Each structure stands twice: as structure tokens, then as C-alpha cells.
Amino acid sequence: MTCARCGFANPEGMGFCGECGSALVVHSCPRCGFHSPRDFTFCGKCGIRLEPTRESESGPLPRAYTPRHLAEKVLRLRDALQGERKQVTVLFADVKESLSLAEQIDAETWHQVLDRFFAILAEGVHRFEGTINQYTGDGIMALFGAPIAHEDHAQRACHAAWYLREALRRYADSVRLRGLNFSVRMGLNSGEVVVGKIGDDLRMDYTAQGHTVGLAARMEQIAEAGSVYVTQSTARLVDGFFRLRDLGETRVKGVQDTVRVYELEGVGGHQSRFEVSRARGLSRFVGRGDELSVLDVALHRAGAGDGQVVGIIGEAGMGKSRLCYEFVERCRARGLPVVQAHGVAHGEAVPLTPVSMMLRGFFEIGDSDSEATVRDKVAGRMLRLAPESTEMLPVLYDCLGVPDPDQPAPVIDALTRQHALGRVVMALLQAQARRGLHVLLLEDLHWFDRDSAAVVTACVEAAADSHSLLIVNFRPDHRPEWMTKSYYQQIALRPLSTDAVGELLGDLLGDDPSLAPLEPMIRKRTGGNPFFVEEIVCTLAESGSLGGDPGSYRLLRPVETIAVPATVQATLTARIDRLDESAKAVLHTAAVIGKEFTEALLQRVVESALPDLGTTIEVLMRSEFVSERAGHPQRVYAFKHPLTQEVAYRSQLAERRASTHAAVARALEELHAGRLGEQAAFIAHHWEAANKPYIAARWRRRAALHVTTIQLPRPQRRR
């Protein structure tokens, strides 16, 4: 019997779930009293037709409450999403002592109370692109990071939980007027799940790995009324982004070791991964001297009145934010005014957040400023810089969240507001440039909402022929139209060189002789990505492989393999999920072939499903997943980063991987029929991975025979 709360498969006849302890919902036969599973249409003992379970028990179908844009996205990609491993955060929420509350009022009123409760839950979850996978009678189970992967799944879940906590607290106050002591509790845990079949109704089957779901349910069950409890696995992922109170360790039913529990107390002071890293202490800045020189030249040109826009492009973890930080700190040291803002991964949930951040910096608004003080600062600077635009003050107040009750903003549609903000921002930047050189830094444009992106276009226009330097950074799949401007130039961040990675590792690890075998392993695994380097070192320290303090570690036990950190896996999985279905399918197939693959072999394996392979490979190259290694006599491609290939490979279920391995082995036999000996070892590897040991053994033998027949050149005799 499958538990409606946590999805655990229980033996028949169980009254309570063995994973989360919840009562199991069953059909009770009106004739014989036998308890059948919820999904039975007929009694399992006497055969009588059973009445369907009430919607309040099983919940409405997911498609009925999922926002249209999210439903369409899932259905469009479901063939590519099914049968994949995902890093997720699970959220459980329920009404505390709901059975007791239900007995205090009539059924219709209670139904109304729950209807509004579920509507609030759905709005909060979907606000941060989570999906409600199950209704549990008096609550929900939601997933963040599946079926659509999110690199910040834990942050989204915590944002949703905190948003729901405040919204449900207000709702509980209104319900108490009816005499009900209504309160809600929530629990979160992060881990891995396998996404199963996704139906037309969006109902999603999944399989939890370990206690991923059960622990989230346990956190909710032990949480105090009105509070949110999270596990250590979630706390690690959101540390710095949220304020957490350590509640210590506790025993949890079904888990052998004690579990450390935290209470979510609010949003923290940091909004980006770089801000968190800076608060902990930045590592050594290495390998970006040339890029700093390009920025210095751009600054000099802007100072001469030739306004510049510089785009810094690179994949997650390449050091875009660190490069920008080092440069703007040098600008500040020279006394230059710098204004900066950044996007957040869930930016669509709160439109114009980056613009509000930029305006707060421009008007020098502090966190403790009152609404009246904010309005005074904005009005005063507008009068000094752009008096002709003061009629736009109500729009600015509205964007900053400090509306003037005496002069409310006009009621306008989103497009008109977008244009109005663009005009006033352009006027402000141009006025500032007339006063002298200034720098504007906008980070993570790939996460800007549509309205904020339109304001960025206005910033680009304002930079032309001015004393302005606009620096932006974004990932390769973001391609704004203004990149064709004559005063725009781009810095593409490449992986750090071997020497630079060595310097970084020396700073992170230290120089203890025991670390010697570890450093080349990390260099090979991380492919020159500084974020990956730092995360792997952190993971090794947390796992106990390293002892000592940062910068002076020593190796405590041999490291045979280096696991992919959860943060890195989530980042890469989210990036892969942004591909369209055909590109993702090709990437998954290529990952099974290996780190390098030929177009001819890939075509043989995917030809039935994808006739236009060349176009899809071009998409993967433009997105910087793969690069071309050779074009003659045949096209050879390789993954640009070793961890991308590994994550793409391991995210697939074993059954799918085995099937693809078998297809690759057959394709190799066909393509190299005239020289099978050369390919025998490679073919044997794929048959072995396809769980065909006997076929693999035959090819291993053939590979060995091929090696013994190779004629090595005889050494020449010395005269």
C-alpha cells in the first residue's frame, strides 16, 4: 500500500506507514469490512464495487491547480524528464490536529476552511516554481527541483515555506474568529528522487532515494505549530541565504543515526552565492589578469566620453561575479561611483527586483530608511539630476515599494510601466554621466524577469557616447539583442589554466605532503571551474577525508573517487534541463558513449528518433556543452567539462543507460566491421555496461588477441 503522504510502498494490511508513520488511507468495504488499497475499484476480498475516495482524501488532479505555463513546460518536456534522477527539496505542510478541529464545526464550513487553505498553499508553492505532488487530506507534499530541475531548489523551497508561513499566519488569525485554533506546520528535507511516469494530468510517480521524502514528513510532524523545521542537508544548501536556529540532534523513527534539526527563522542577509562566499572568506583570486586588463581599457575609454558596455559571459562557477567584484573594488578605491544589482534564480516570482535593487543603490537608500525617508531621497536627487522627469516620481515610488498615499502611481498596464521605468532610468543614468565617470554593474542577466530585461536595454542605450561603463554578466544561453551594439564588447571566461588551478588549490588545501595525490584528481575532475574546485574541497572536508583547517588541510584517508557535490550536481542538472527535448536526448546519448564521440556513431544510435542531428549538435556547441575536436576524416566531439558528462550520465536510470550502451555496442560493430579488433575493448565496455557479461567476455578475449598480434617495431642495432 502506497502512503499518500510520503509515497513509501508498505506491505498489505498495514494501518500506518512504515516510513513516515501516517495513517494509510484505504477503501473500507461496506459488505465485508475488508480494507483495500486506495486505488482499488473493487473489494479485494468479496469483489463488490467500491465508492471512490473523496477528493478531500486524494486531492484534486495536479493539472487542475498547476499554473498553465508550468503545466505546459512539464508536458512539453515530460518524455525527457521521465526516468531521471533529480536533486530536490521536499516540503510537507499540514494542519496541526486537523481531526480535532474538524469535529468542532460542521462539514461544509470545514470544507470551506480547507479549500482556502489549499489555495494559499498552491499559490505559495507555484510562486517559486515548485510542484504539488500529493494532497494528504489536511496538507500537501511539494517538490522543488522535480520534474523541472532547479539549481537553487533548497532556496526556492525555503522561500516558499517562509512566504506560506506569513500568509497562513494571517489566514489562521481570520479562522480563529470562528473559534478554531487553526495552525500549520511545515517540514523540509533535501536529497535525491527518481522521477517516474508523468501523466497527462501531471500526476508524477517518483521513487525517493534513502529518506529523502520520509525525513521531510518527519520534520513536519515534529514541528511546532506555526513553524518550519528543516534537516541538515537542507540547512547546508541555504546557509547564509536564510536565518536558521540549530535545535540540536534528535532521534527520528526509521533512521539509525540522530538527525540534526533546524528551525527556519527568516530570510538571511545574502541573496547570491557570491555574497555567501564573500561572507565566509574569499579564496585567492587567480588566473584572470588578462580579463582585468580588458576592463581597465574599457574604463579608460568611458572616462574619455566613449561609453562602453562590457559583457562577461561564462558558465555557472566560472568566476563571473568574482571578476566583477575585484574590478569594482578597484573602481571604488579610485573614488568612482558604483551602482550594482543582480538577478535571482526565482526572479520571475518577484518582477523588477533587480531594478528596485539598482534604484536603491542609485539613490543611496539604506535598509533601515523609513518609507518617508526613501521618498525624500528619491525626490531630492531627481530634482538635482533630472528635474524634467519628476512627473515619474510615483512610478519610482511604486517600484521601490514606498507608494506615496498623497500621489499614488497611475493605474497603467505592464507594458506602459515598463516603458516608463526605462525612460526614467535612462534619464537618470545620462544625467549622472554628465557629472563624470561612473560604473553600473548588473549581474546574472539570465535570471532577470522580462520587465527588468527591458530596463537593461534602456541602460545600454544610456551608455552610448557618455562617461558610463556598464558591466553585465550572464551565461552563454542568454543572448540579448543589444549585443550587436558597436560600443559592446564581450569577455568569454575560459576554464582556469592548470597553473591557476594549482594556485587555487594551494590556497584552499595547503602544502601538506599527504595532499600530493589529491591535487591532480581535483584538477582533472573540475576542468578548471573554480566553483567546482571549492565545492569539492568543501565536500572532502565535510566527509572527513580532510583534516585540519582551511588552507592547512592534511589527507586523513585515501580518496579513490571524488563524488559530485550536491550543489554542483543541481547546477549542472538545471542547465541540462534548459535544453529542448531533442538536444537533451542527444546529450544523454553522447554521455553514455563517453567523454568523446564521433558524429557517425551518435547518428547510428539516435537516427530513428532524430534525423537532423547536425543542427542539434550545433545547439549543444553554442550552449557550450560540447566542442569539436576534429573535423577530418570524421567529426569528433567532446564534452567541454568532465562533470557535465558524468551528471548527464548518472541522471539517467540504470535501465535506460543499459539500453543505450547496448545500442552503442551494436553501432560500433556495424561501423567498424572491417577492423573490429581495434574497437574490441570499447565494444566490450559497452556490452558490460549493458549487463551482457557473456557477450562482453567474448569481446574482451578478442581485444586481448588483437593486442598480442600487434607487431611492434624492432629496435635498430647499434653499429
HEC letters along 174-224: HHHCCCCCCCEEEEEEEEEEEEEEECCCCCEEEEECCCHHHHHHHHHHHCC
**Is 714 within the bounds of a domain?**
no
What does the angle CA 588 – CA 579 – CA 350 come to, to the nearest 5 degrees? 140
What's the pLDDT score for residue 6? Answer: 56
pLDDT more than 90, % of the chain: 45
Based on the fold, state whether residues 643 and 525 are members of the same structural domain.
no
What's the pLDDT score for residue 56? Answer: 39
**Is 718 within the bounds of a domain?**
no
Whether the ω angle into residue 147 lies within 30 degrees of 0, i.e. cis, is yes
| pLDDT band at residue 336 under the 50/70/90 scheme | very high
Specify whether the CB–CB gap between 641 and 527 falls below 8 A: yes
**Is 589 within the bounds of a domain?**
yes
**Is 471 within the bounds of a domain?**
yes
Residue 165: CATH number of its domain? 3.30.70.1230
Mean pLDDT of 449-474: 94
Backbone phi and psi for residue 553, each to the nearest 5 degrees, phi listed first: -80, 165
Please tell me the least confidently modeled range out of 49-53, 520-524, 550-554, 577-581.
49-53
Based on the fold, state whether residues 121 and 196 are members of the same structural domain.
yes
Where in the sequence is the domain holding 22, given as residue range(s)?
Answer: 1-53
Based on the fold, state whether residues 116 and 47 are members of the same structural domain.
no
Give how far Cα 619 sits from Cα of 73, 522, 579, 652, 672, Å.
Answer: 20, 29, 9, 21, 28
**Is 187 within the bounds of a domain?**
yes
Specify whether the CB–CB gap between 328 and 340 falls below 8 A: yes
Given 441, 474, 492, the domain boundary residue is 492
Based on the fold, state whether residues 412 and 519 are members of the same structural domain.
no
Based on the fold, state whether residues 696 and 579 are members of the same structural domain.
yes
Based on the fold, state whether residues 262 and 190 are members of the same structural domain.
yes
Specify whether the CB–CB gap between 248 and 43 falls below 8 A: no
Given 465, 492, 519, the domain boundary residue is 492
Q: Using CA atoms, how far apart are residues 70 and 84, in angstroms rounded to an integer?
A: 19
pLDDT more than 70, % of the chain: 83
Given 53, 76, 97, the domain boundary residue is 53
Residue 677: CATH number of its domain? 1.10.10.10
Q: Using CA atoms, how far apart are residues 500 and 523, in angstroms rounded to an integer?
A: 10
Based on the fold, state whether residues 510 and 609 are members of the same structural domain.
no
Specify whether the CB–CB gap between 29 and 48 falls below 8 A: yes
Based on the fold, state whether residues 270 and 368 are members of the same structural domain.
no
Enter the DSSP assignment of 66.
Answer: S
Specify whether the CB–CB gap between 583 and 620 falls below 8 A: yes
With the C-alpha atoms ordered 211, 216, 217, 218, is the resulting torsion angle positive or negative?
Answer: positive
**Is 255 within the bounds of a domain?**
yes
pLDDT in tens, 392-421: 898 899 889 899 888 888 888 888 888 888
Place of cell 531630492: 380
Nearest to 639 by CA among 578, 697, 589: 589
Please tell me the least confidently modeled range out of 150-164, 275-289, 601-615.
601-615
The enclosing H or E element of 473 equals strand 468-474
**Is 186 within the bounds of a domain?**
yes
Based on the fold, state whether residues 15 and 42 are members of the same structural domain.
yes
Q: Using CA atoms, how far apart are residues 235 and 324, in angstroms rounded to an integer?
A: 28
- The residues facing 23 across adjacent strands are 16
pLDDT at 80 over 60: no
Domain count for the chain: 5
pLDDT in tens, 19-48: 655 555 555 555 555 666 655 666 766 565
Whether the ω angle into residue 476 lies within 30 degrees of 0, i.e. cis, is no
- Cβ count near 108 (within 10 Å): 8
Residue 299: CATH number of its domain? 3.40.50.300
pLDDT in tens, 147-200: 778 889 999 999 999 999 999 999 998 888 777 889 999 999 999 887 766 555
Nearest to 283 by CA among 91, 56, 530: 530
Backbone phi and psi for residue 674, each to the nearest 5 degrees, phi listed first: -85, -15
pLDDT at 65 over 60: no
Specify whether the CB–CB gap between 245 and 265 falls below 8 A: yes
| pLDDT band at residue 58 under the 50/70/90 scheme | very low
What does the angle CA 355 – CA 359 – CA 361 come to, to the nearest 5 degrees? 120
pLDDT at 470 over 50: yes
Based on the fold, state whether residues 333 and 429 are members of the same structural domain.
yes
Based on the fold, state whether residues 594 and 449 are members of the same structural domain.
no
Based on the fold, state whether residues 373 and 474 are members of the same structural domain.
yes
**Is 282 within the bounds of a domain?**
no
